[in-house]
Amino acid sequence: MTMRLSFGCAMLAAIVCAPLVDAQQIGTNETQGKDTTYTLSVKSQLVTESVVVKDKQGKFVPGLTAKDFAVTEDGAAQTIRVFERESLPVDATPLPVTSEDEESIHIYKTLGRTKYATEDKARSYKDRRLLAFYFDMTAMPPEDQLHALQAAEKFVRTQMTEVDLVSVLRYQGGSVDVLLDFTADRNKILSILETMVVGEGQGSAEGVDDSSSADAGAAFGQDTSEFNIFNTDRQLSALQTTAHMLEQINEKKSLLYFSSGLRLNGNDNQAQLHATVDAAIKAGLSFWPIDARGLVAQAPLGDATQGSSGNSSMYNGGAAQAANDRLQQSQDTLYSLAGDTGGKAFFDNNDLALGIVRAQRAISDYYLIGYYTTNTAQNGRFRKIKITVPGNLNASLDYRQGYYANKEFGKFNGAEKERQLEDALLLGDPITDLTIAMEVNYFQLNRAEYFVPVTVKIPGRELALAKKFGNEHTVIDFVCEIKDEMGLTVSNLRDNVDVKLSDASATELAKRPIEYSTGFTLLPGHYTIKFLARDDETGRMGTYQGVFVIPNLSKATKQLPISSVVLSTQRVDTKQALYNTMKGKEQAKNDAANPLVNGDGKLIPSVTRVFRSDREIEVFLQAYWGGATATAAGAQGSSAPAQPAAEATKVVAFVSLYRNGSKVVDGQAVQAMALPENRLGAVPIDLKLPLRGVEAGEYQCQVTVLDPSKDRAAFWQGPLAIVP
C-alpha cells in the first residue's frame, strides 16, 4: 500500500481594522464622522508537524528553537509561526497504585458525544501523552469485550503515568460515541470502563437493519442500511470519523483499537481503507490495533459452535488451512492500519495491557512546528514538506512528508470539475463522501473474451441532499478505469446522469438507492477497478476501488466451468434499465452480448445481497458444457465428430440456504440445456427461491450444478441477508 502523508487544517481569521480619521470614504452611504468597523475575512491554512530530532546515538536532541529549523513546501520556504517542545519522558513516574477498595467509582449512564474539547481546553494538552481507547463493540464477541475492558482497567490502575491523558470511545449501533474526553482522572476513567456493558453492540457489524431501526449513522454520514452488512466499510468509516474528531488537537495522538479482527473480502471498498489511513495521518493520529482474541489455539476442524464441514477437507488439511487463512486475513487489515499510520499491531498475546504500554512508550519528546502555507490554492493536490536542521547535519528527523490541500468545489468551473475527477483517479487520496457498493460479474463470450457487467449502487438519501439547495435535479458524474496486472489501463468510461428531483421524486430517492450499470469486454486475468461517482450539485464524491479475477474457463477439465453467480429480485425493461453509458446502436450491441438481458428484460444484480422476506430470489449463471473439450463442427469440416445429443447437454442445478452449518432452505432442482449453435456449449441456468416463511437473518447461499453425462460438478457459495 502506498502511504500518503498529509496534515493541515483550515482557519478563518477575522481582522478588525479601525478606520483612519482622514481616510476618504468611497462608495458608501454612511454619514461622515460615524464610527464604522471594517471586517476583512482571510482564509489561511495552518499546517502543523510533529518532528522528532535524534542524534547519531538515537537520542533526542533537546534545546532547539524555531530558528534552528528550516521548512519548505514544494520547495518554497515557509515561516514558522507555531513552535513548542513537547516533553514526554518514557520513564515518567507512574501514578500510585490503588486497590479497588480505595477507588471511588461511580456507575452511571454515559451519554455519548461526537466531538472533543474546545481549543481553550486543548491548550492543557501540552507535555501530555494522549491515548484514546477505542472499543469496536461490533467486532468483538462478549468474551473478547470483557478481555479488552479488563486490560484497559489494568493499565489505568497500574501502568498509567502522570503525563498520560486517556479518552474512551465506543463504536456500536452505527455511531461513534466519545464517552470520555482526555483526562488524567483515574476514577473517572474507571467509572466509564465499568459502565460499558459487556455484550452491547455484539453482532452489529453483521447485523441487519430494517426500516424500523433507529438511524444513528449521521455521525459520519452513512445510513445504517444494507450497504454495510457484508463489508467493513462502516467500521473503517467510523475510524475515519474518529480521526476527524481528533484533528483539532495538534499534539500527537495514539488510538488503541480493540477488536477481534477486521477482515476485508472481495466485496469491500479498498478506497475506504485508504481514506481512513489518510484521515488519520492528516490528524496526526496513529492506530495501535489490539487483537482482543489474544493467543488463539484453534481446533483443526472447528470448535463446538459450528458444524463439521463434512467433506474431504476434513482429511486433506483443507479445513485447518482455511481456518488459519481466515484468522490471518482478519489481522491483515489491522496490520495495514497500524503500519500506514506509524503504529504497531498487537497480536497473539493474552496480556492486552502490554499492547497499551507499547503505544504509551512510543510517544516521547518531540517538537511541534506550525506554519501558514504560502500556497493558497485550494486544489486538493499533494504538497511535499521538507524539514531540516541546517546547523546539525548529523541530526535524523522523523516527520510527515506532506499533506493534501483543501478543495472548494463550489468555486470550480467546468474545466476544474473535470480536472478534479482526473486527479481523483490518479492521486492516492480517495474521497468517500458517497457510499458506493459494486458488483463485478463475468460471462464467457468465446474461448478468449468475457463480458464483464458492472453494477454500482449508491444510497439515494446521500444524493437527495441536492434538493435542499433548491435544485430541481442533480447530475451524477461517473468515471471508471480498469487496469491489468502491469498497471496498464485496458478500459475506461466517462458518463453523467441527470436525475430529476421533484418533491415527489426526492422523497422517493431518499428511500431507495441509485443503481448504475455498464459492461466491458475483457480477457482472462487479474484486474484493478477504480470507480468514482460525484454529485455535481453538491460536489460530494465517492470512490470505489477493488480487484477482481476473470478465470480462464476454457482450461477447466476436471470441474464443470461456470460463470459468476448473480442474485437478484428485479428484472426491468431494457429501455428503462437504470443508467447506462451506451446509447442507441452501441447499447443494442451491448445488450446482445449481455447474458443478463433476455426477452423478459434486464436482470439487475442485488449488489448488497440483502433481500426482503416477501420477495423471491432469482439466481442466474451460465455453465459451459463443452469446457476445454468443446467441439466446433463448423471449424473442423466433415470429419468433425457429431454434436452430442440434446439429453447429454443437460445439467441439473439447485440452490440452498445454510445457517450455522445446517441446511435451512432447499430450492427445487431444475434442468437446463445448452443454447443451440453455441460453440461453448453455454447453458443458461435460471433458478427461483421463494423467501416467504424464511426467518430473517444471515445465510450462506450455495448453488450446485451437476453434469451427469461427464460426472462433473460445480459449486458456488456466497453470503446473503434476509430482512422482514
Q: What average pLDDT does range 49-77 have in this prediction?
A: 90
Beta carbons within 8 Å of 201's beta carbon, 6+ residues apart: 137, 138, 170, 171, 172, 173
The pLDDT score that the predictor gives to residue 27 is 36
Q: Kindly report, residue by residue over 310-328, the tens digit of the pLDDT.
A: 555 666 666 667 677 777 7
**Residue 318 Cα distances to 306, 329, 330, 557, angstroms:** 16, 16, 18, 21
Local confidence band at 174 (pLDDT 50, 70, 90 cut-offs): low
The pLDDT score that the predictor gives to residue 525 is 93
Q: What percent of the chain has pLDDT over 70?
A: 69
Mean pLDDT of all residues belonging to the chain: 76
Amino acid at 601: G
More confident residue, 173 or 655: 655
Residue-range domains of the chain with CATH: 9-86+368-406 (no CATH), 100-364 (3.40.50.410), 554-569+606-637+644-724 (2.60.40.2550)
Phi, psi of 319 (to 5 degrees): -65, -45
Q: What percent of the chain has pLDDT over 90?
A: 19
The pLDDT score that the predictor gives to residue 28 is 36
The pLDDT score that the predictor gives to residue 535 is 83
Q: Does pLDDT of 630 surpass 50?
A: no
What the block records as the C-alpha cell of 55 is: 542524534
The pLDDT score that the predictor gives to residue 9 is 33
* 144-148, 227-231, 665-669: range with lowest mean pLDDT: 227-231
Q: What average pLDDT does range 178-204 have in this prediction?
A: 78
> Is the CA virtual torsion 499, 502, 506, 509 positive or negative?
negative
Kindly report the three-state secondary structure assignment for every residue of 444-476. ECCCCCEEEEEEEEECHHHHHHHHHHCCCEEEE
Element (H, E) at 683: strand 682-690
More confident residue, 521 or 28: 521
Q: Kindly report, residue by residue over 238-252, the tens digit of the pLDDT.
A: 898 899 888 888 888
Residue 204 three-state SS = helix
Local confidence band at 112 (pLDDT 50, 70, 90 cut-offs): low
**Residue 96 Cα distances to 127, 133, 180, 608, 696, angstroms:** 20, 21, 22, 52, 52
Pairwise CA distance, residues 295 & 258, whole Å: 15
Q: Kindly report, residue by residue over 488-499, the tens digit of the pLDDT.
A: 989 988 888 877
Q: Does pLDDT of 160 surpass 80?
A: yes
The pLDDT score that the predictor gives to residue 278 is 83
Q: What average pLDDT does range 218-237 have in this prediction?
A: 58
Local confidence band at 218 (pLDDT 50, 70, 90 cut-offs): very low
The pLDDT score that the predictor gives to residue 429 is 65
The pLDDT score that the predictor gives to residue 39 is 55
Burial of 335 (0-12, 13-18, 19+ CB in 10 A): middle
Local confidence band at 216 (pLDDT 50, 70, 90 cut-offs): very low
Do 435 and 443 meet the contact criterion of CB atoms below 8 Å apart?
no
Q: Kindly report, residue by residue over 329-362, the tens digit of the pLDDT.
A: 778 888 888 888 889 999 888 899 899 999 988 8
More confident residue, 8 or 288: 288
More confident residue, 325 or 224: 325
Q: Does pLDDT of 548 surpass 80?
A: yes
More confident residue, 119 or 658: 658
The β-bridge partners of 612 are 723
The pLDDT score that the predictor gives to residue 224 is 43
Do 707 and 651 meet the contact criterion of CB atoms below 8 Å apart?
yes
Pairwise CA distance, residues 359 & 710, whole Å: 60
Q: What average pLDDT does range 104-114 have in this prediction?
A: 57
More confident residue, 402 or 159: 159
- Residue 180's closest CA among 608, 389, 170? 170
Q: Kindly report, residue by residue over 570-626, the tens digit of the pLDDT.
A: 887 766 544 444 455 555 566 667 888 877 788 888 888 888 888 899 999 999 876
Q: Does pLDDT of 70 surpass 90?
A: yes
The pLDDT score that the predictor gives to residue 503 is 65
More confident residue, 22 or 651: 651
Q: Kindly report, residue by residue over 369-401, the tens digit of the pLDDT.
A: 989 898 887 766 778 899 999 988 788 898 888
